[in-house]
Structure 1
Amino acid sequence: MAHDTVHGILYPLKVYKIQVTTMPRTAVKNNLRMSLRMTPEVKTKLLRAASIRNTDLTNFVTQSALREAEAVIHEAEVIQVTERDFQRILDLLDNPPPPNAKLLAAAKALPAST
């Protein structure tokens, strides 16, 4: 864990790794159907849960998977910070630190724009 000192206060900084991914391409021409393989026990449990919710298996599985997909996407795209950290981010955007040697070297290594 890295540390940063601001106004004489030592703040621990969590280091984040960012992975950029692309959306998967459509695997089939007809995007209206999806096949799932599952054990009979899993299917029985899903049918029971769908029955309790008074819906069919397709709707139950679709809605459950959609909720999970939304949660995964939200977790990947949203960063929650404290009010103090948010103010620090805004301050750094308004008053960026001067470029260090690594940044200057990286900028110099970029191809000339046309």
Structure 2
Amino acid sequence: MPKPKGSTGATKMKILAIICHNGECGRESYGYGIWQDLKKNFHTYLNHNEVRNVYHHLRDLCETDLLLRIEGNNDILNRCKYKLTEKGENLKEKYRPYLEILEQNS
């Protein structure tokens, strides 16, 4: 049974942690890179066809005002980047365990 729309499960917390970590390291967050980080650090969404699930989570996080999606018109690939909103930053205690994993792996 799917979770209710707007819920923040473990995968969404991992995505928030990845975007937070990237921001702290001075890196931008793009959908494909977030998927790569999920695979590398959390062994989640290992199949290439599962990348679409990451984009569904990103859309949900934007709709709940936890992320801001910035349309890409400055790079050759026209990629959209994602940043935490203040509301997303306020959840840091919730995704801190995942943030610690990312810090250990970097």
TM-score bucket (shorter structure): under 0.3
Q: TM-score, normalised by structure 2?
A: 0.23
Q: TM-score, normalised by structure 1?
A: 0.23
Q: Which has the larger radius of gyration?
A: 1
